[in-house]
Amino acid sequence: MDQFPTTESAVTALRTLAAEYGREIEVSHDIGADQTSRRSAAGVGITVDPDGSLPHEAHVDLGGSPRVSVRLFPEDDALITVEGVECPDVPRDDVLGFLRSLYDGLAHVKARRFPPGYFLIVPLPGDRTHREFMPMITLTPWLSSRVR
């Protein structure tokens, strides 16, 4: 499993992954407590954490199908959105494994008859999976093609 101690190291790894899979990548950075989404209580004009460090958040959009965006938070986790389905609280170190599963065709959608519903299931390294519930109306053509 890859380890990414900083947001910038994770962004660098995502750039390498995008090149490996032939995907376009667009990255935007928010640096400073007054800029990051989870630091709204920092106060006006305050850009550093109490320990003097600058929190760094990045938003990454990857081109191609499926549509994927990754929001890397300073707290060592990420929000990955796949075709409009949000997968919150993915550990930063699992982001590459998550995306590799998507691009290698290992991720799938599991249908449940009663009560009706769908789950996006993404295998992760170490015999783990990320499972995310999705309403039926969110099935895009890419997600529909992965239903088992």
What does the pLDDT look like over 92-121, one tens digit per residue?
999 999 999 999 999 999 988 887 789 999
* Rounded Cα gap, residues 93 and 125, in angstroms: 10
Q: Give the per-residue pLDDT at 48.
A: 53
Question: pTM for this one?
Answer: 0.84
Query: What are the backbone angles phi and psi of residue 37, rounded to the nearest 5°?
Result: -70, -25
Question: Is residue 38 pLDDT above 70, yes or no?
Answer: no
Q: What is the pLDDT of residue 96?
A: 94
Name residue 134's beta-bridge partners: 118
- Number of Cα atoms under 13 Å in the Cβ half of residue 58: 20
